Amino acid sequence: MAEDGPLKMADVARLAKVSMSTVSRALADNPLIPEDRRREIQRIAAEAGYVINQSARSLRMRKTQTIGVVFPLGHDVGQLISDPFFIEMFGRLADEITTRGYQVLLCRVTDTSEGWLNRIIQSHRQDGLVIVGQSDQHEALNQAAGSYHPLVVWGGHLNGQTYCSVGTDNIGGARRAVDHLLGLGRKRIAFLGMLELPEISLRYEGYVRALRAAGIEQDPALVIPAHFSFETAYEAARELIESGTEFDAIFATSDIIALAAIQALAAAGMDVPGQVSVVGFDDIAIAAQSTPPLTSVQQDLAKGAKTIVDLLFKRMAGEDAPSATLLPKLVVRKSCGGTSAG
Amino acid sequence: MAEDGPLKMADVARLAKVSMSTVSRALADNPLIPEDRRREIQRIAAEAGYVINQSARSLRMRKTQTIGVVFPLGHDVGQLISDPFFIEMFGRLADEITTRGYQVLLCRVTDTSEGWLNRIIQSHRQDGLVIVGQSDQHEALNQAAGSYHPLVVWGGHLNGQTYCSVGTDNIGGARRAVDHLLGLGRKRIAFLGMLELPEISLRYEGYVRALRAAGIEQDPALVIPAHFSFETAYEAARELIESGTEFDAIFATSDIIALAAIQALAAAGMDVPGQVSVVGFDDIAIAAQSTPPLTSVQQDLAKGAKTIVDLLFKRMAGEDAPSATLLPKLVVRKSCGGTSAG
DNA sequence: CTTGCTTTTGCAATCGATTGCGGTAGCGTT
DNA sequence: AACGCTACCGCAATCGATTGCAAAAGCAAG
């Protein structure tokens, strides 16, 4: 009834007039304790407002019922986890994880000095890890995966990769987007994104392949480094416009970059899709709502998150789950002209 | 060097040829150990890839270096934390918390049965709690606050509230928004939101006061229940439109609701802001990007999050921090016609 | 070589649960 | 009544760190 002092299992044992062992087993629904007694003890514990101390439990059981979700920000100094894509991914992951009765621990990594991943792993704060985005930490991930199994990465599938990853077919997605632009008669297609990031570099590969297949020579002046934040992307687009380089389409490697580019174009008095077609990547919620609505390569995050967590739990159970690739879908809207469905 | 077996403090002690006590103190930078020896032990530990087991540490120290962030979803069956407002708040809170060297544990509460908050508190998984949104749990919060101090709530300031809360002046914000609409000559202003939620009910209070001050009689037919999700809000707006009730403005209690309303109006062939002025609440990032750009009551989330965490840490230190109220700002854009700054 | 003081060090208890294993109670047979 | 068998129960060790307290070591002065 009264619940001022945080009461321990021993207190419940006293109340129920049994030993701690029995209480522990009863609360764990261990059939070693007869059913009616189990219920009785559970009732007493609940009534007393008793809750198992998770720190003690974690120590003894060597598991925490917690999954760590890590956002390596090594490549970007901006601290805030603000990108809508990451945010949505996080929400979906959280859903999948909590549904399975686990807690979600957010690990925002800013200090990617030697051994950062090992420090997280060895802290034993979580039973498994999801790493969202490889950032520039491919090597560190490869190394950690050698000895730590319950780890799944969202990102591109790279050469010589030993860790388990889930991600969209970046090359294929990009290829499809650029093919679509080419199909509309566009020939001078700018590429906006940070080639240093593995996923982006794969998208670049798709871009190059599409151009090559169409027999179009690629122009380095059309490849523009652009970070993920709206402001920096806007700046990058503005510079492209002011450089005087001719272009009639933009393949942006994220929707945020695409939206920033559209705004920059509008500010420069250029019509989208009249003069310039724009395609984004991710198909975040705003994409459909923007003006004009954005054509984008859709990543199925719901499925992605589910796959990640499925694989993670398999690995936590000792099974050896392989990487998975999701198929992207081009969602055609007004931002690139034309009207065919993709 | 080799780091296959998860090594413990005892192992490091052996390596450094000292006792565990000394290692523990050295790693904690305890001045009881001479500086040079401290450094030496730290070096040895780091080289061996040793990391303190947090479960054990938490148990012994009775603190976890973790803050729980709770989203009570009692009022809404939709599981996903998808509302951009909550998402942004979460990101900012995470920033503030990690900056202070604490971890963030996400608690998505779906089971708000008797004692849910107590179960979280007594689990001892965290050293402090941030509750984002009161949902319909005012009573539970009030009760918990009696015995549990390190707890801060984002939400409205209610009568008879004993817990510490941080929130925007909802009444004032709503008042300003509606006054603005009235100033534009609008007289039939619809209110879209869930009155069951404390914050929304405060905004309703502001709405009522504004109307009363302007000598306009309020019409119950103009008060429409609308959830936070885009789809349900769209539906609510559509029903308002189809009901035939006359109206020339909408005060939406969130930007998502406002955006949904604008789409519904557009679908019905009604011009915004020509026929109907729309004002939202929160001023989320998309608000400025929508068509037409949305007038909205801005909540300063960066400041809000900082205030919440500041207060929480004060409370964790045993001080008694009082509730705080933030001043909202009306950001005027095209969605309500007119051009004056608010 | 003592003595007295300061600086370091380590023993052992502790945090609050879980669980292997040995012991007891209860019941049915002979 | 004695025995055997199951079904329950609880003792005590354990998880891996932290820390009060006492002991040891170092050092200077007498």
Measure the CA–CA gap between A278 and A189, rounded to whole angstroms. 9
Shortest CA gap A60–chain B (Å)? 9
CB contact under 8 A, B91 and A87: yes
> What percent of chain B has pLDDT above 90?
80
Mean pLDDT, chain B, integer: 92
Q: Which of B50, B80, B106, B121 to mutate to test the interface with A (most CBs of A within 10 A)?
A: B106
pLDDT value at position B22?
A: 97
Written as six digits, the tokens of B42 are 């730290």
pLDDT value at position B74?
A: 61
Q: B73 and B108 in contact (C-beta within 8 Å)?
A: yes
CB contact under 8 A, A107 and B108: no
Q: Find the residue in A nearest to B260 (Cα).
A: A289
A141 vs B81 pLDDT, higher one: A141
pLDDT value at position A4?
A: 44
Chain B residues whose CB is inside 8 A of the A81 CB are 91, 94-95
Q: Average of pLDDT values for B169-196?
A: 97
Residue B130 in this model has a pLDDT that exceeds 90: yes
pLDDT value at position A29?
A: 95
pLDDT value at position B120?
A: 95
Which are the contacts of B57, defined by CB distance < 8 A and separation ≥ 6?
none
Task: Sort strands A189-192 and A164-168 into parallel, antiparallel or unpaired.
Answer: unpaired
Query: Which of A122, A132, A126 minimizes the C-alpha distance to A152?
Result: A132
Rg (CA), chain B: 25
Per residue in B242-275, pLDDT (tens digit) is: 999 999 999 999 999 999 999 999 999 999 999 9
Tell me whether the CATH fold assigned to B66-168+301-327 matches the one assigned to B170-298+330-336. yes
Shortest CA gap A234–chain B (Å)? 14
Q: How many CA atoms lie within 13 A of A167 on its CB side?
A: 25
pLDDT value at position B6?
A: 85
Per residue in B185-233, pLDDT (tens digit) is: 999 999 999 999 999 999 999 999 999 999 999 999 999 999 888 889 9
Dihedral angle at the C-alpha atoms of B16, B20, B24, B30, nearest 10 degrees? -80
Per residue in A286-299, pLDDT (tens digit) is: 888 788 899 999 99
Residue B340 in this model has a pLDDT that exceeds 70: no
Q: What are the residue boundaries of the structural domains of chain A, listed by start?
A: 9-52, 66-168+301-327, 170-299+330-336
pLDDT value at position B3?
A: 42
Written as six digits, the tokens of B15 are 């390596």
As a CATH number, domain A170-299+330-336 is: 3.40.50.2300
Q: Position A273: which residue type?
A: P
Measure the CA–CA gap between A151 and A163, rounded to whole angstroms. 8
- Superfamily the domain B170-298+330-336 falls into: Response regulator (3.40.50.2300)
Q: A266 and A272 in contact (C-beta within 8 Å)?
A: yes
- In this complex, the residue with its CA at the shortest distance from the C1' of nucleotide D7 is A32
Class of domain A66-168+301-327: alpha beta
**What would the DSSP string read from start to end of B21-39?**
HHHHHHHTT-TTS-HHHHH
Name residues of chain A where pLDDT drops below 70: 1-5, 74-82, 338-342
Q: Find the residue in B nearest to A91 (Cα).
A: B81
Q: Average of pLDDT values for B148-166?
A: 95
What kind and span of H or E run contains A277? Answer: strand A277-282
Dihedral sign computed on CA atoms, order A292, A295, A300, A305: negative
pLDDT value at position A286?
A: 80
Rounded CA–C1' distance between A14 and D6, in angstroms: 27
CB contact under 8 A, A108 and B98: yes
Q: Find the residue in A nearest to B122 (Cα).
A: A51
Q: Rounded to whole angstroms, what are the CA distances from A52 to A11, A56, B54, B125?
A: 12, 8, 18, 10
pLDDT value at position B71?
A: 87
Listed by range, residues with Cβ under 7 angstroms from strand D are A 18-22, 32-34, 37, 56, 59-60, 62; B 6, 8-10, 20-21, 24-25, 27-28, 52-53, 55-57, 59-61
Rounded CA–C1' distance between B4 and D23, in angstroms: 37
Nearest nucleotide relative to A124: CA against C1': D16
Q: Position A181: which residue type?
A: L
Q: Average of pLDDT values for B49-56?
A: 96
Q: Which 8-state DSSP code applies to residue B221?
A: G
B194 vs B83 pLDDT, higher one: B194
Which are the contacts of A276, defined by CB distance < 8 A and separation ≥ 6?
A247, A248, A249, A250, A265, A270
Chain B residues whose CB is inside 8 A of the A5 CB are none
Task: Sort strands B329-331 and B295-298 into parallel, antiparallel or unpaired.
Answer: antiparallel
Which residues lie across from A151 on neighbouring strands?
Answer: A129
Q: Find the residue in B nearest to A262 (Cα).
A: B289
